[in-house]
Structure formats: structure tokens, C-alpha cells
Copies of this chain bind each other. A is one copy, B any other.
Amino acid sequence: MAQVALGTKEKKVVDVHTHMYPPEYVRILESRTTIPLVRSFPGAPDPRLILLQAEVPLLDSAAAAAESAQDSAAAPAIPGRPLTRHYASLEQKLHFMDTHGIDISVLSLANPWLDFVDAASAGDVAQSINAEFAHMCSQHPGRLYFFAALPLTAPLATVLASIKHVQALPRCRGVILGTSGLGQGLDNPALLPVFAAVAAARLPVFLHPHYGLPNDVWGPRAAEYGHVLPLALGFPMETTIAVTRMFLAGVFDAVPALRMLLAHSGGTLPFLAGRIESCVLHDGHLLREGRLGPTRRTLWDVLSTQIYLDAVVYSPVGLRAAVDATGADRLMFGTDHPFFPPLTSDEQGPWESVSLNAAAVSAALADAADADAVMGANAVRVLRLYEGDEVDEVAA
């Protein structure tokens, strides 16, 4: 099943899902007054990173409390999460890799990327952020690669120029994309030239959620449950919806060279693929539109040819389903660092969020070669994680 990439040491551990906010990006977030933003609060040791729509009610009540001076007894909860040095420090990233025996990390800007940057400056911001990633990678040759961010709010010509630009950056091995596309989702026909361009450039798309689901679906008690509902359910459901819309719109057929790596083992796609296929087969509208003919590619076809999944699903149950859906040669280990730090042990030590996923690989894959493939060999092969075939143009 799993091929070993020629010329590389076997049994490398690769983390394909690991984020950073480079210093320039943090500065942008600090300058903002609406989410996403970074803000300091009295009583909180680190600045707070506030990203999610679901965090807005808490942000608003914290702001209201700060304005009315007479609160002292019942200070509201502090919104967001601590922006520790893990988010922007390359040194911390390497420490985290060493702690967990990770040989190679494929870095990506964390959500929401450049989705909020105005059209006029998006191209320049993207170029600058991507240069920062290329520079970081150049400091540790062979250990760091990256997925580039695209300026999707800019005019199409700028986006296409950016794809050409990042294709030429050393150690760029794909692009990271959210689900909003140009603002109307990934089934928007206007996005097809972008998919065609990244496919032509041999840049896989790492698809990652950010927007979740509308707050209403979490109900009136959502705040009692911390971040669990939007993160545990909203994120994977968003990914599932986005990819299913692409599938139904025929994007995978229109751009057969498109390759996507889906965050969180595809959201819920491996589990729901059967139901999606059955709903397609039993849909009178699709039948009348002539879309159920014998040449139709099923979602299973797409999963096993154009889709890769990370192995960030935190259970053997989920991981087995992911492997069942796409094959053990299409799964890739990841950590989601610096998110989900340990709450009750030292952040400089081992992280349970990592060990949960590593243990799931061991438990779900009886064949040691399959487990090694998921832990690293697949990523090395698919993302060409070796130095030999390129000149290192960025000096440290």
C-alpha cells in the first residue's frame, strides 16, 4: 500500500497540520476591533486570541464590563484563548517537534488566514506572510515546509499571480484554504480558475474550517459548554458541507488534477459518505437533471483519488473510518499545534492532544507499514518533503 519515497530515510514522523501566526500576522490582529482580533484583558497573563463568531457574546460582555467601572465581584469570563508564545515562535515550534519526535512539520497560517484583509492590500500581505514562512523554513532545511496563504479577497488576477509566486517559493508544498472561497463557498464557479491554477502548479489544497455553523444551532446554553460545540462540531461539519457542495457542483470532475487534504479527517465525510451517496441516488431532482448517468463519479471515487485526510480525529473509531473511506496510503498524521495545549500539565512537556492522535494510529492500523505510512511516509511522498530537487534560495 504505502510507498516509501526514494532517497529519504524511512519512518519519518511528519506533522501536516500545524499552525503559526507569524509576528506580522499577530500585529494585524492586534490592530483590529472586530473578530478576528488579539486583545489584552486585565487579569489575563497573555493577550487573548478571539477568532470565532461564537466568542462574540463573551467579547461584548467583557467590553461592557470594562466600561462600567463598578464591577469587581462578578467579572465576566475572559473571551478567546491565551495567545502564548507557541503561536508565533519558531523556537517553540521546534521544541514542540522535538518533544514529540516529529521530524518534519508542514507549517500553515492558522485560520482565518487572509479572509478578512481588504482587497487592495491582500496581495501584498499574502506575499509578505508567505515570505515569512519561506524564511522560517529556510532556517531549518529538511525539517520545515509550508502551505502558503492566498489573497482570496483580492481580484482574481492577483490571486492567480500569487499562486505563481508561491509555486516558486522554496519549501512551499501547497496552499491552505478556508471554506468561504470568494465569499460564496467553494462550489462557486468563479473559483474554478483558482482550483485549476493550484492543480496546474501541483499545489495540493489543505482545506481547513473556521466559520463553523450559525450560533443559533448551539442553543441558549452554549456558553456553559465553553468552546466545545463550535470546535468539536462546528468545525468538522463546516468542512463536510464545503466538500459536499464541491462534489455536488462537479468541481472534482471539472478539475481532475485537484488534490485536497482535508482537516480533521474530512470533518465527518468518511462517516456520511454512504448517506450522501444514497441521498444522491434517491434524489428526483438530480435524476430529472440527467445527473445520475452511468459515467457519474461517486463520492467514494473522489475520496480515493482526489482527497487526502489528516489523521486528526482523536479516536481509533474515527481513524478506522477515515482509512476505510480513502485508504491507508491517503492519511497523514497531524497535531493541530498550537491549539489544544494541555490544561493541567506543563505546555513545554508532552501534549495529550498529540498522544491521542498518535495512539489512534497505532490502535487503528494493525499493519505496521500502514501505521508508518500514516505517521509520515504518505506525507513525504505526496507533498515531496525532501530537499534534493530544489535550490535553497532563501538565506537564513
> A28 CA to B221 CA in the complex, in Å?
34
A199 in the interface (beta carbon within 8 A): no
**Stretch from A62-70, A232-240, A377-385, A386-394 at the B interface:** A232-240
CA distance A214 to B213 in the complex (A): 9
A141 CB-CB contact with B under 8 Å = no
Judged by DSSP, the binding face of A is helix
Nearest CB to that of A352 among chain B residues?
Answer: B281
With A284-B343, A318-B274 known as contacts, the answer to whether A227 contacts B279 (CB < 8 A) is yes
Bound-state CA distance A229–B244 (Å) is: 8
Chain B residues within an 8 Å CB radius of A249: 221, 224
B314 touches A274 (CB 8 A): yes
- Smallest Cβ distance from A230 to chain B, in angstroms? 9
| Pairwise interchain contact A324-B317, C-beta atoms closer than 8 A | yes
Q: With the chains together, A356 CA to B228 CA distance in Å?
A: 34
Residue of A245, A264, A292 most packed against chain B (CB within 10 A): A245
| A278-B314, A315-B274 as given contacts; A241 in contact with B217, CB under 8 Å | yes
Q: Are B274 and A271 in contact (CB under 8 A)?
A: no
Q: Is A231 an interface residue (CB 8 A)?
A: yes
- Write out the residue numbers on chain B whose beta carbons fall within 8 Å of the beta carbon of A281: 343, 352
Interface size on A, residues (CB 8 A): 73
Chain B residues whose C-beta falls within 8 Å of the C-beta of A218 in the assembled complex? 241, 245
Evaluate contact between B274 and A313: CB separation under 8 angstroms.
yes
Q: Across the interface, do A248 and B274 meet the contact criterion of CB distance under 8 Å?
A: no
Q: How far is the CA of A264 from the CA of B271 in the complex (A)?
A: 11
Q: Is the CB of A318 within 8 A of B321?
A: yes
CB-nearest residue of chain B to A234: B241
Q: What string of 1s and 0s marks CB contacts (under 8 Å) between A215-226 and chain B?
A: 011111100111
Known contacts A219-B184, A219-B185; decide if A232 and B315 are in contact (CB<8 Å).
Answer: no
Q: Does A11 contact B (CB under 8 A)?
A: no
Q: How far is the CB of A43 from chain B (nearest CB, A)?
A: 13
A81 partner residues in chain B, CB cutoff 8 A: 284
Residues in B whose Cβ lies below 8 Å from that of A245? 218-219, 221, 225, 229
Judge whether A275 and B236 touch: CB under 8 Å: yes
Binary interface encoding of chain A residues 355-392 relative to chain B, with 1 for a CB under 8 A from any of its CBs, else 0: 01000100000000000000000000000000000000
Q: What 1/0 mask marks residues of chain A from 258 to 278 whose CB sits below 8 Å from any chain B CB?
A: 000000110010111111111
Which partner residue on chain B sits nearest A244 by CB separation? B233
A187 in contact (CB, < 8 A): yes
Of all chain B residues, which has the CB nearest A336? Answer: B278
The residue from B187, B217, B287, B318 contacting A272, defined by CB atoms under 8 A apart: B318
A164 contacts across to B, CB distance below 8 A: none
Q: Interface residues, chain A, CB within 8 Å of chain B?
A: 77, 81, 184-185, 187-188, 213-214, 216-221, 224-229, 231-233, 236-237, 240-241, 244-245, 248-249, 264-265, 268, 270-287, 289, 292, 313-318, 320-321, 324-325, 340-344, 352-353, 356, 360
Given A225-B245, A237-B268, A274-B316, 12 more A-B residue pairs with CB atoms under 8 Å apart are A221-B249, A225-B283, A225-B286, A226-B283, A232-B244, A232-B272, A233-B237, A270-B318, A271-B313, A273-B317, A274-B314, A274-B360
